[in-house]
């Protein structure tokens, strides 16, 4: 679970995503999706780390007096002092929403949301978030993703040479490569997490 919420574990997915966004498509289409994802991360990070956490100042389970010793801490990871709301949940759900609304394929959306749900669950497994932190982060992430998607579609009408086509039609190119990569990523990630856990346990 530790590796699932580690950004480094997602390098493979990011690399394939970059290929998918720009392969056999006008560069403006891929650029707009990347811009939308960047805006989602920026907004969610600001809302979580710089607004909600200092404002509500609710300690994480790992920093809550009276229960911190009851929490199952993984690899001594305890996170920062405050946990409301989850930046991981908001960021990942916002990005998944952008991609789901762009591609508009049921199977694609299902796999995407399954992956980001596992990220959200991993934050509770690690003991650094309450369920309410996660649910709030999910709601805010999806809301931000929907809002940024409509902004992206507005810009698309002005800069894309294929604006008369739907995003769904344009992102058919190399869709199978992207989908297969997502499907393959989950067992690879779980296997990698298990191997890392074994190595660390032996070293310990």
Per-residue tokens: 44: 């969610």
What is the CA 201 to chain-centroid distance, rounded? Answer: 28
Q: Which two tokens stand for residue 23?
A: 């392969």
Q: How far apart are CA 43 and CA 190, in angstroms?
A: 29
Beta bridge partners of 82: 59
133-143 per-position pLDDT tens digit: 999 999 999 99
Q: Provide the whole-model pTM.
A: 0.88
Instruction: Name the average pLDDT for the chain.
Output: 87
Rg (CA), the chain: 18
Tokens found for residue 132: 């309410």
Token pair for 126: 């690690």
CB–CB of 140/88 below 8 Å?
no
pLDDT: which is higher, 80 or 76: 80
Q: Say if residues 96 and 149 touch (Cβ distance below 8 Å).
A: no
Domain ranges of the chain: 7-203
Residue written as token pair 């960047």: 38
Is the CATH number of domain 7-203 1.20.144? yes
- Beta bridge partners, 77, equal 74
- The pLDDT score that the predictor gives to residue 202 is 53
Portion of the chain with pLDDT greater than 70, in percent: 88
- Give the tens place of pLDDT for each residue, 39-68: 999 999 999 999 999 999 999 988 888 776
């Amino acid at each position: 679970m530790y590796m699932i919420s580690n950004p480094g574990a997602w390098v493979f997915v990011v690399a394939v995503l970059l290929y998918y966004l720009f392969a056999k498509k006008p560069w403006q289409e891929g650029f707009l999706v990347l811009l939308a994802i960047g805006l989602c991360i920026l907004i969610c990070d600001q809302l979580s780390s710089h607004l909600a956490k200092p404002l509500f100042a609710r300690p994480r389970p790992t920093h809550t007096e009276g229960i911190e010793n009851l929490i199952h801490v993984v690899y001594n990871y305890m996170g920062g002092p405050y946990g409301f709301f989850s930046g991981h949940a908001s960021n990942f759900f916002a990005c998944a929403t952008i991609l789901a609304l762009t591609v508009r394929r049921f199977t694609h959306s299902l796999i995407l949301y399954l992956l980001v749900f596992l990220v959200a669950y991993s934050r509770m497994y690690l003991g650094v978030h309450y369920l309410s932190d996660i649910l709030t982060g999910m709601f805010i992430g999806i809301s931000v993703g929907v809002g940024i998607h409509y902004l992206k579609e507005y810009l698309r009408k002005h800069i894309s040479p294929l604006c008369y086509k739907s995003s769904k039609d344009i992102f058919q190119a190399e869709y199978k490569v992207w989908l297969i990569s997502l499907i393959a990523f989950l067992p690879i990630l779980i296997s990698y997490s298990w191997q890392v856990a074994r190595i660390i346990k032996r070293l310990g």
